[in-house]
Amino acid sequence: MRALISVWDKTGVVDFATRLSGLGWEIVSSGGTAAALAEAGVPVLAVEDVTGSPEMLDGRVKTLHPRIHGGILADRSKPAHLASLAEHGIAAIDLVVCNLYPFRSDPGPELIDIGGPAMVRAAAKNHGDEGGGVGVVVDPADYEAVLEELAESGATGESGAGGLSAATRRRLARAAFAHTAAYDAAIVNWLDKPAAGDAAGVAGAGESPEPAPLPPTVHLALERVDECRYGENPHHLGARYRPAGEPTWWDHAYQHSGLALSYLNYFDADAAWRIVHDLGEAEGSSAVVIVKHANPCGAAAGDDLADVYQRAYDCDARSAFGGIVAFNKIVDLDTVERIEAAAQADLIIAPGYEDGVVERLQAKRRNTRVLEAPRPDEAGVSLRQINGGWLVQSPHTFASAPEDWQVVTQRKPTASELADARFAWRVCGHVMSNAIVLARDRTAWGIGAGQQNRVESGQLAAAKADGRAAGGACASDAFYPFGDGVEAAAEAGVAVVVQPGGALRDDDVIARANDLGLAMLFTGERQFRH
């Protein structure tokens, strides 16, 4: 029996080939793989000795030859195929071991593999012949299981009998097509990015770049990396997937203690981690965000992390119980004292912890999941599945800068009121619509989320703030259609309202704000979130 081995990732390949050769298999190989096997003393037949043709074009053409692909694609159950092999003097290839050039490591034409995918797809296509289909291995993790099954089945080069079971060949074929599909998806995604000099993304001095258009096709290739006990509810299955072959920040996060991460832990921690970094960068300071069901229930910023945590927790201490607490700075001993005194969190995530902090959390909060994580990855396009398709949009951003906001009322905000408005607007952009945020002194004292009308979101925010945002700011994620929204803000005691503007009755809303003595800012952008 003959195996063709040609791999870029040579992890374990020498041991695999050595043991395969020990079973009596003839091994054909090419290029660097052949050299590595020969150096290790594994008997190897070079591809050029099989094809009668040398490698061409700097190695671009090696295995693309009828004597290779005929040996892989011949259906052993068809006498005509076997006769054709005999007529042309082609030996059948029973096992293909191949993984592809690492395109994602340095995307470009020279790392677009051609011969590798052709071999892999040919072997996977021909996996199903019950009389002896072709096996294909693309993952070194499968080497041991393949060797064990070949040894147990008696599939030796001398016997010509046995081999991998039909079930195993089918499993390996699926992995092979997933491997090539993910590879092609990575190439398409690279080609979707603007090349240097393309119009999209290129701007002159002082100009904003034009956004790249959404691609005409979207190709998702995901691999399962973590299985959850269940999904959103116990009767749902759940798991975390990532782009195939592309580790994300989650893969570099370290869990110090606590229970295994659940589906909802992943979902809510992702939201908290993105929000706390965005808020911290916007404020240029320490930030703490507490999230429950993907919505912030507490958010604060400032210089002293312990004080920032305490204010974030005090925003809504009842909702903070069992929530996700995210820090954008290393958690110190002063802060952990505040955490110990507060209600238990389900998960704490930070870029690091001072010596002794993790041990105290482990002792006091045994079940709390304590994560240390790098920065979140840069956001790509947003995908959301609907029944019968997907919705795709560009990543969530804040389009306008505070210096571009328009003061539309007779009273202008003071410097401190403007700072409150900036903070409230930033938090509001991360709250599910309809969203109202009441803030003062870099603290979101009242967050009204997810109500079907804006007035009730404002009333909910006011009830949570309970007067603590007096003299501060009210942010609304969309325009106020009527004056009742600013009336609710005035009742909460704020001094300035920030909203997108753009309603048919903007003039009436502005007039009502003037009557109430409020300052009002128009951002010119909506921040709906669903």
CATH 3.40.50.1380 fits 2-190, yes or no: yes
Contact 322, 292 (CB under 8 A): yes
Average pLDDT over every residue of 1-25: 89
Domain boundaries, the chain: 2-190, 255-372, 402-522
Phi-psi region of 59 (alpha: psi -120 to 50; beta: other; left: phi over 0): left
DSSP 311-362: HHHHHSHHHHTT-EEEESS-B-HHHHHHHHHSPPPSEEEES-B-TTHHHHHH
With H, G, I as helix, E, B as strand and everything else as coil, classify residue 389. strand
Neighbours of 405 (CB within 10 A): 20
Q: What is the pLDDT, as a whole number, of residue 130?
A: 61
Sheet strands side by side (includes 519-522): 406-407, 519-522, 496-499, 473-476, 436-439, 444-448
**What's the token pair of residue 440?**
């003062």
Residue 203 confidence (pLDDT) above 50 = no
| Rounded percentage of the chain residues whose pLDDT exceeds 70 | 94
151 — phi, psi (to 5°)?
A: -65, -45
pTM assigned to the model: 0.83
Q: Does the fold of domain 402-522 match that of domain 255-372?
A: yes
Q: What is the pLDDT, as a whole number, of residue 172?
A: 94
CA 6, 10, 16 angle in degrees (round to 5)?
80
H or E element in which residue 298 lies? strand 295-302
pLDDT in tens, 435-456: 999 999 999 999 999 889 888 9
Residue (of 32, 91, 33) closest to 65 by Cα position: 91
Residue 166 confidence (pLDDT) above 90 = no
The fold adopted by the segment(s) 402-522 is: Cytidine Deaminase; domain 2 (3.40.140)
Residue 241 confidence (pLDDT) above 90 = yes
Average pLDDT over every residue of 18-33: 88
Distance CA 458, CA 489 (A): 7
The DSSP output letter for 110 is G
The residues annotated with a catalytic role in the active site are: 125, 293
Q: Whats the size of the chain, residue-wise?
A: 530
Residue 161 confidence (pLDDT) above 50 = no
Domain 255-372 CATH (choose: 3.90.550.10, 3.40.140.20, 1.10.10.60, 3.40.190.100):
3.40.140.20
Q: Please, which pLDDT band fits residue 160 given cuts at 50, 70 and 90?
A: very low
Contact 296, 431 (CB under 8 A): yes
Distance CA 436, CA 456 (A): 9
What pairing do the DSSP bridges indicate for beta strands 45-46 and 26-29?
Answer: parallel
Q: Please, which pLDDT band fits residue 128 given cuts at 50, 70 and 90?
A: confident
With H, G, I as helix, E, B as strand and everything else as coil, classify residue 95. strand
103/308: higher pLDDT: 308
| Rounded percentage of the chain residues whose pLDDT exceeds 90 | 55
Provide the b/e sequence for 268-293 (b: ≥16 CB within 10 Å). Answer: bbbbbbbbbbbbbebbebbbbbbbbe
Average pLDDT over every residue of 242-247: 87
**What's the token pair of residue 428?**
């509001």
* Dihedral sign (CA 162, 168, 174, 178): negative
Residues 6+ apart with CB under 8 A from 382: 392, 393, 394, 395, 396
Q: What is the pLDDT, as a whole number, of residue 30?
A: 85
Residue 397 CB-density burial (10 A; 0-12 exposed, 13-18 middle, 19+ buried)? exposed
How far from 456 is each of 297, 430, 459, CA to CA, in Å?
17, 18, 5
**If you average pLDDT over every residue of the chain, what do you get?**
88
Element counts in the chain: helices (H) and strands (E): 18, 21
Residue 209 confidence (pLDDT) above 70 = no
pLDDT in tens, 330-388: 999 999 999 999 999 999 999 999 999 999 999 888 889 999 999 998 878 888 999 89
What pairing do the DSSP bridges indicate for beta strands 436-439 and 496-499?
Answer: unpaired
